Structure 1
Amino acid sequence: MKKAFLWVAILFTFTGLLAGCGSSEKSSGEEDKIVIGYFPNINHVPAMVAKDQGYFEKQLGDGTKVEYKTFAEGGSFMTALKTGDIDAGLVGPGPAMNNFSTGADVKIIAGASTGGTVVLAREGLEINSLEDFQGKTFITPGVGCTHDVQYETYLEEAGITSARIGGTMKHLTGNPAQYASMLKTGKVDIAVAPEPWAAVIEQETNAEVVIGWDEVSFGETLPASVLVATGDAVEDSPEKVQKIVNAHKDAIKFIEENPEEAKAITIKDIKEVTGQELEKEVVDRAWGRIGFTYDVDVDTIQDFADSSYTLKFLKDKPEFSELIANNFIK
């Protein structure tokens, strides 16, 4: 009898090892799984609402388990998409375009939000003209991220560039949730912040908004976040991708019809992810600087990409007609 139990244990162990080695065949009745990625900022509220309301589960059905993974910046998100750690999610258009231009398998399948990029100067720093940005240290979530390109494009038009391409501005990257303390200590002079962190900075410091969300380049027209998936998913599983987009559209409709409830969901989700509880006043201020839409402005995407090339974030002059799969939002 003991031998029988021993062989059963060995059999289960061997079976478990096979499963751990990535066997792609599912046993009868086994759940499918998708992982949705997003960032803990207000441009990514559609993902938070979809998560809270169970929209992905409703669209994909009981046979699919939905999990969520959060990111602080676009580079790690795109790595996760490329490695299959996530299946879809919200990211800034900058990382999506940068990775597409180097051959990454990524498709924009819907818009998500616009606006929400605010540039602030630490207390006591005199910024009275564009020339005053020369030699200053600025911080963005990532090199070549959406907010970085918006900021550098705005200044490049005045002939001011970062040290990365021969200019005088020094560039740091970091988690936007830490920008307020970095400004207070003088570690950075300028913070290029996505909402709600710009509103947090205004509340916690005496930092001054020096470039508003509607003044910074592409501020009112560029998708601040987009819904992406892999090209393989778009080609091989269009029905599943359509359901993901449908859930995303449901979330945006909810935001439009229930803004106060959507704000409460945002406060709750950001606290769970970052440990920081935003005050309602902060969220209200940030909310006024963004919009939510699943449409994608294709021309603006190309203009933004051309600017990324000019700023040398992209090695080759881009053409993004194949990046956007608009058929899922029609």
Structure 2
Amino acid sequence: MKKFVYLAVLGSLLMVLSACGSSESGASGNGEGSSEGSSDEITIGYFPNINHVAGMVAEEQEMYSKQLPDGTTVNYQYFPDGSAFMTAVETGEIEGGIVGPGPAMNHYVSGAKINIVAAGSKGGTVIMAGNDSGISSPKDLKGKTFISPRVGCTHDVQFEAMMKDEFGITSDRVQGEMKHVTGKPATYASMFKAGKVDAATVPEPWASKIEAEGNGKVLVDTPEVAYGETLPAAVFVTSKDLKEENPEMIQNLVDAHQQATDFINENPEEAKTIAQDKIKEITDQELSAEVIDSAWERIDFSTDVDESVLQDFANSSYDLEFLKEKPDLTGLVDKSFLEK
């Protein structure tokens, strides 16, 4: 079984989102491309969660390998959080892959030479409360403790933007009324039960798992969360330098990603099985068919990227003081590979 690169440090098999390597990176592919004899090796990264099913399908079906030139070895790494993923892209540790839009935008406005070349999915963020939290409405969150995968991650911004814009409630990060802590989504159920947190901004499939096992309740479902149905929950990112140096490789990767996304929409039951098996393989956590089905209902798998939504989301990050300067995302998205 492939393991996360950070397991040796964390000593845990719990999956995290934001979210979102392997010392035994899996190589796959028989190489059905056009350049025979190539010995190139590339690495694709993604997170083992439902928003990243395109990565799982592409790996399981060897879609990247089939699009790339003959002889190309394709490895895969699974990341603990978006920051680690973006660092891997910037340093050339990976050639590209799927990550939340928050880390991609944050690194871009900080000067990272990266591009979003496709989306992966939309939706999948759910606001939940512990059964014994005494919370029945978002208004009750004043003075309460909430958890997100990481400070400033996609799910964190969605939650805090909703709370500020609709209820005028902010976190202690900006001298507000809610206490904010971070942690792995797979631990949220136990933290609810232990009374360590009152609420959580939860990515799928963990929201459906908590709900199915009765360990928490849905406070705000995906459509009502800020940017819940319009913001890409996952985007395909690569480095601008690699895109300029080897556009054919990026075209091959985007083609494979599009193929995987089409497969998900055309073969949902098979894609669900792949996701269920892959998450268990990577994380040692088995999700029931009920949980997978529920999570699937909250997600739309699409490669289309709406640049204006990304800019609006980035503006929210600035308004919440996650970003020091007002962001300009001009040049971040390159949709040319989707249009060929």
TM-score normalised to the size of structure 1? Answer: 0.89
Corresponding residue number in structure 1 for 2:240: 231
Corresponding residue number in structure 2 for 1:281: 290
- Give the counterpart letter for 1:113 in structure 2: S
Corresponding residue number in structure 1 for 2:27: none
Corresponding residue number in structure 1 for 2:160: 152
Q: Is 1:272 matched up with 2:264?
A: no
Corresponding residue number in structure 1 for 2:106: 98
Q: Is 1:118 matched up with 2:139?
A: no
Paired residues of 1:151 and 1:216 also in contact (CA < 8 A): yes
Paired residues of 1:73 and 1:175 also in contact (CA < 8 A): no
Find 1:57's aligned residue among 56, 65, 73: 65
Structure 1 SS opposite 2:235? strand
- Give the counterpart letter for 2:200 in structure 1: A
| TM-fit CA distance, 1:172 | 1.5
| TM-fit CA distance, 1:254 | 0.5
Corresponding residue number in structure 2 for 1:246: 255
Structure 2 SS opposite 1:181? helix
Corresponding residue number in structure 2 for 1:18: none
Distance in 1 separating the partners of 2:176 and 2:187: 26
Structure 1 SS opposite 2:223? coil
- Give the counterpart letter for 2:248 in structure 1: E
| TM-fit CA distance, 1:137 | 1.3
Report runs of 4+ in structure 1 exceeding 6 Å deviation: none
Unmatched 5+ stretches in structure 2: 1-35
Paired residues of 1:180 and 1:205 also in contact (CA < 8 A): no
Structure-to-structure mapping, 1:189-208, within 5 angstroms: 189-208=198-217
| TM-fit CA distance, 1:124 | 1.8
Find 2:147's aligned residue among 119, 134, 139: 139
| TM-fit CA distance, 1:131 | 2.6
| TM-fit CA distance, 1:122 | 0.4
Structure-to-structure mapping, 1:296-315, within 5 angstroms: 296-315=305-324
Aligned alpha-carbon RMSD (Å): 1.3
Structure 1 SS opposite 2:67? helix
- Give the counterpart letter for 1:260 in structure 2: E
Structure-to-structure mapping, 1:158-237, within 5 angstroms: 158-237=167-246
Post-superposition Cα deviations, 1:52-111, rounded to whole Å, max 9, x if no partner, equal 000000000322110110113211111211222211010110000001011112110001
Q: Is 1:323 matched up with 2:332?
A: yes
Distance in 2 separating the partners of 1:299 and 1:250: 25
| TM-fit CA distance, 1:29 | 5.5
**In percent, how many aligned pairs have the same letter?**
55
Q: After alignment, is 137-146 or 249-258 more displaced?
A: 137-146
Distance in 2 separating the partners of 1:283 and 1:231: 35
Higher helix share: 1
TM-score normalised to the size of structure 2? Answer: 0.87
Unmatched 5+ stretches in structure 1: 1-27
Structure 2 SS opposite 1:328? coil
